[in-house]
A and B are shown apart, each in its own frame.
Chain A
Amino acid sequence: MKQNPPPPRLTLRGISKQYPGCLANDDIHLDIAPAEIHALLGENGAGKSTLMKVIYGLVKPDRGELLWDGLPIEVKDPAHARKMGIGMVFQHFSLFETLTVTENIALALGDDAGELEPLAEKIRTVSEKYGMAINPEREIHTLSVGERQRVEIVRCLVQNIKLLILDEPTSVLTPQEVDTLFVTLRQLAHEGCSILFISHKLNEVKALCHKATVLRSGRVSGECIPADEDTTSMAKLMVGDDTPVSTTYPKKLGNSPLLSVHDLNLNSPDPFGVQLKHINLTVNAGEIVGIAGVAGNGQEELLASLSGEQRCKDNKTITFADTPVGKLSPDKRREWGLAFVPEERLGRGAVPEMSLTENALLTGFLTGLVQNGMVAWKKAEAFADDIIAQYKVKTPSRQAQADSLSGGNLQKFIIGREIMQNPRILIAAHPTWGVDIGAATAIHKALINLRDQGAAILVVSEDIDELFLISDRIGAICDGALSPIKPTPESSIPELGRMMAGDFNPAREERVTP
């Protein structure tokens, strides 16, 4: 291997990066050969993002060196990385909404962009060649999330690219779009481009990648050939200890309806929002209903209507058991027994500058933390401590500000705060977003427990595996319309994928995939 004539396209030697209070990368070694699709596997917080920022010149490592085609190099900044032939597709897109596709790409190309018209032509040619047709004249805010990702990829492809880095590229795509993306990536690799594919989804890594490097807590915990491994063994490398990585929960069907939505229509006040169309939905006591969907298809609007942030015109549009609540405010709905975990953790789930105790109080005020109009601080503190202990929230103390916690830890805190109030109805958006496998399992168990106590639970998520794992009934939302909700055992991933793409036609023949 060491004597092979072509040197690796990229070699990392002993990369370390220390952040205050956290060693993000610790002595990382990595080789990527030309034409290789290399997976960088790891849980959230394992150091994947920091490492790729080092490669792309966004972060300077404290120690270690990079070799590019066998020669040591220091990547000064992203512009330099681009000149070397490194392209990066970000998880949160770095696109400018009010500019056109061509203008966006011209910006990234720097002085090589040239005139806009020939560039637009080139964009059209390249995007069609790789099966990702986009119209260069469209403004970004008119594009869907999947289309935006295409723009990011095409932006890398119009240059002379040697290494393409993709950060969790499939998290915003339907299963069918993922297949299309993989075809493109294989074609690229076949042409000699190296690809660094960052993910925590083992099935995808197994299907696509030639090699994998697994990170855990900032260190390389293993390397493998994904095709020769099974997902359990790779998961063990990722998680480390003996955390059960796959469990199943018995499915149940609830009895009486607790949460009902009748013909909900909503014109979103947000110009980039989605219009809700004739949404009908029932969640029974003692069941978990899962709603899948690509981000930006009406989830936010639906959640806002259910939580009460967005009031309905007709009080009867939403009912809790037999009580019409369509016009009630969020706190009145909470008084009835609703708990809500919003999508946005900082700003809506928690107040960033407030301590954990104060944040616990924010929605927990109905559970006896406020007496005669006065805050019972002792109880509030005890409640905060309970959440921290039960959900293993990593924090110095309950006095820590919410925004000092990592995303996954804050998520655990918010979920814990809501579940521990024993709600009759729980609505949760992306309940395990950004938390590690162990904590995700704990959250799933807590949700199942709550269900078994007779609560009605609605989970909105982009993680299909999670939805299949915990939902008793499942459906999808697309462009503001809700698909029929089916019992989970009667549904399948391809079917759900079609629903996520807006194909609700029940008559279509089910295709079996191996």
Chain B
Amino acid sequence: MDIDLITNILYAMIRTGTPLLIVALGELVCEKSGVLNLGQEGMMLMGAVIGFIVTLVSGSLLLGFLLAMVAGVLMSLIFGLITMELSANQVATGLALTIFGTGLSAFIGSDFVGKPIDGLDPIFISGLTDLPIIGRMFFGQDLVVYLSFILFGAVYWFINHSRPGLILKAVGENPHAANAIGLPVFKTRYLAIMFGGAMAGLAGGYLSLAYTPLWAENMTAGRGWIALALVVFASWKAERVLLGAWLFGLASILHLVFQGLGFSVSPNLLAILPYLATVVVLVILSSNQTRSRLVAPMSLGNPFYAKG
């Protein structure tokens, strides 16, 4: 295998992993607060369609990305209102959000299918981009990929070293105790949900504005679900989310790799690898109850009822 192929595979791995990484970081923060939002796919699609239309009309990629994130936040607020104010079941609400987002985005975007825009260009960093093998991978990407590196660092620091991160974990573990010692449970969960929405919107925008600069119905193709699996796969640790996202990215371009090597394997078969990996990790996690109870946020999916 020649060096160009390796370079290209690594480049594509990061690029493919980036939307997964961004959504999964958002979902990680959300789940750390004890909220399980299965609406990632719907929020991503809304981000993708809104970002695309805004950019097409205004010609501004920046505006497109910003409004993609706003769309994600608005979607997440629907989820937030229903699960927080009305204490509805989070799983059902999240599923409904995905179905809603899929339909609404298809409706809004029906006139824009197949229209071309100029996508986000890569930014080369002189000196670094030309490094062998890792140059292209880390320093030959577009702005959003660089942003995802920063986002990862920020989320990692936030969860592990900041005081608000400590509050986030406390709320996710035991919201009643958190309320009893005066921590703002509702505010924390709302912010976490909105962060998840913003990240899903950004990732959706990345797909329609940079990864494949066009709009197609249902273009996220299950990435929201992979991201959800990824958070479990990472056992709710930011650094494992990063590695997992890239690993899942690699898995989804693996058919290209095999082609390059002269094998022919069905891409559909390879597409199940991320899910297979998640199932294996789940089995390993749940084989040890101590571990499984300690890694997952303890109140994940449980509604918190307002005080008396």
Contact = CB atoms under 8 A, between A and B. Distances in A.
B294 A107 contact: no
Interface string B177-220: 11111110000000000000000000000000000000000000
Contacts of A94: 174, 176-178, 180-181
B176 A96 contact: no
Contact of A96 (B174, B182, B289, B293): B174
Interface string A98-114: 11000100111010010
Interface string B152-192: 00000000000100110110011011111111000000000
Contact of B182 (A82, A95, A99): A82
Contacts of B177: 93-96
Chain B interface, DSSP helix/strand/loop, else mixed: helix
B166 A106 contact: yes
A141 B289 CA distance: 14
Nearest to A114: B163
A126 interface: no
Contacts of A272: 293
B263 to A, nearest CB: 44
A82 B180 CA distance: 11
A103 B173 contact: no
Interface in A73-107: 77-82, 90, 93-99, 103, 106-107
By CB atoms of chain A within 10 A, which of B167, B170, B182, B308 has the most?
B182
Given A58-B307, A113-B163, A79 B182 contact: yes
Contact of A108 (B163, B181, B293): B181
A98 B173 contact: yes
Given A94-B177, A96-B174, A107 B290 contact: no
Given A19-B308, A113-B163, A97 B298 contact: yes
A99 B308 contact: no
B289 A99 contact: no
A357 to B, nearest CB: 28
B293 A271 contact: yes
B183 A107 contact: yes
Interface in A262-295: 269-272
Chain A contact-residue range equals 20 to 34
Contacts of A78: 179-182
Contacts of A53: 308
By CB atoms of chain B within 10 A, which of A80, A103, A107 has the most?
A107
A59 interface: yes
Given A97-B298, A98-B294, A107 B173 contact: no
B294 A110 contact: no
Interface residues of B, number: 23
B170 A107 contact: yes
B180 A271 contact: no
A409 B290 CA distance: 35
Interface in A92-150: 93-99, 103, 106-108, 110, 113, 141
B166 A107 contact: yes
Contacts of A108: 181-182
A293 B177 CA distance: 25
A406 B294 CA distance: 32
Contacts of B180: 58, 78, 90, 94
B182 A59 contact: no
Nearest to A273: B289
Nearest to B289: A271
Contact of A271 (B167, B294, B308): B294
Contact of B289 (A79, A106, A269): A269
A53 B180 CA distance: 9
Contacts of A271: 289-291, 293-294
Interface in B123-176: 163, 166-167, 169-170, 173-174, 176
B104 to A, nearest CB: 35
A272 B289 CA distance: 9
A96 B169 contact: yes
Given A79-B182, A90-B180, A269-B289, A98 B298 contact: yes
Interface in A182-237: none
A107 B167 contact: yes
A106 B163 contact: yes
Given A96-B170, A99-B166, A107 B181 contact: yes
A400 to B, nearest CB: 21
Contacts of B167: 107
Contacts of B294: 98, 141, 271
A502 B180 CA distance: 33
Contacts of A106: 163, 166
A221 to B, nearest CB: 24
Nearest to A270: B289
Contacts of B307: 58-59
In the complex, the 9 A-B pairs of residues with the closest C-beta atoms, listed nearest first: A271-B290, A79-B182, A94-B177, A78-B182, A94-B180, A108-B181, A96-B173, A96-B170, A271-B289
Interface of A: 19, 53, 57-59, 77-82, 90, 93-99, 103, 106-108, 110, 113, 141, 269-272
Given A78-B181, A94-B178, A95-B177, 7 more contacts: A58-B179, A58-B180, A59-B308, A96-B177, A97-B173, A99-B170, A103-B166
Interface of B: 163, 166-167, 169-170, 173-174, 176-183, 289-291, 293-294, 298, 307-308
5 contacts: A97-B173, A107-B166, A108-B181, A110-B182, A271-B289
